[in-house]
Amino acid sequence: MKILLIPKNKISRVAINVAFIAIWEEFTSLIIEIIWEKIDEFGLFNQNSFPILVIEIVFLILPILTFTYWIWLGKSFMIKKIK
């Protein structure tokens, strides 16, 4: 399996990162909207409650931070070097 090559140019990395964040934010808004509808059906929580905040952080913030860390630090994030 071929490893995904990351461009060396910083401008390319920034462009890839910005594009990922924009696409991921739209994708996440669709997911969270579906989750809100399901939670409203149960009537357990309102949209300002703590579980909704946790769901938003898990689906929105963590993937963005992980991808940004990976794009800027490269393979060292994915593969642990053993000496």
Q: Provide the pLDDT confidence category of residue 31 given band limits of 50, 70 and 90.
A: confident
* Amino acid at position 22, single letter: A
Confidence (pLDDT) at 23: 94
Confidence (pLDDT) at 19: 93
What is the domain count for the chain? 1
d(CA 83, CA 7): 27
Identify which has the larger pLDDT, 21 or 48.
21
Confidence (pLDDT) at 82: 55
What share of the chain in percent tops pLDDT 70? Answer: 76
- 79 falls within a domain: no
What residues make up the domain containing 27? 11-71
Q: Provide the pLDDT confidence category of residue 1 given band limits of 50, 70 and 90.
A: very low
| Average per-residue pLDDT for the chain | 77
Backbone angles phi and psi of 37, in degrees to 5: -60, -40
CB 59 within 8 A of CB 32: yes
Other CB atoms closer than 10 Å to residue 9's CB: what's the count? 9
The tokens of 81 are what? 């070097």
- 55 falls within a domain: yes
The tokens of 51 are what? 């579980």
